[in-house]
Amino acid sequence: MSTRTNKEQQKQPKSILAKDVNQAVRQLIAISQDLIRFADTEAQALVTLDHMKFAFAQRDKELMSEHYALASEEFRERLGAFRMADKNLIAHLNTLQNELKEKTEHNNVMIDQIKTKAAANTQATLFTVQQMGQRVYFGDQDRAGAQERKEA
């Protein structure tokens, strides 16, 4: 029976949020504020085209997002208990969630714009290289044709 209990304990994820609902909401607020700060840093890297800063930040973003996802899942599982939380805390959390959503959407738009511009630049470069290659090719053919005309 202890083996069964150990297996059940292994399946149950470790609780991230405090048992006290108000403290748990404060934790969710702190996690949301961290993600908002990160979104601002990410936006700054995108605006300044600091791709290295952006790339290095993605590792941290992944870890923070995983933590946020686990906390959010726990929140949903305990939703009934959270209905008893301080309404001001819940309102503040809701405001932060909306702000985080807006910032994330804005950053995603910037990322899409950068991708589109990079793809267009790549296409333009490939087209230019292709044109240059054709000119060289035609130039060699023109010289060969001129040589043939001289010999005739």
- What's the rounded Cα separation, in Å, for the pair 128 and 115? 20
Judged against a pLDDT cut of 60, whether residue 73 lies above it is answered with: yes
Q: Tell me: the pLDDT tens digits for 39-52?
A: 999 999 988 988 88
Between 116 and 143, whose confidence is greater? Answer: 116
Q: Phi/psi of residue 28, each to 5°? A: -65, -40
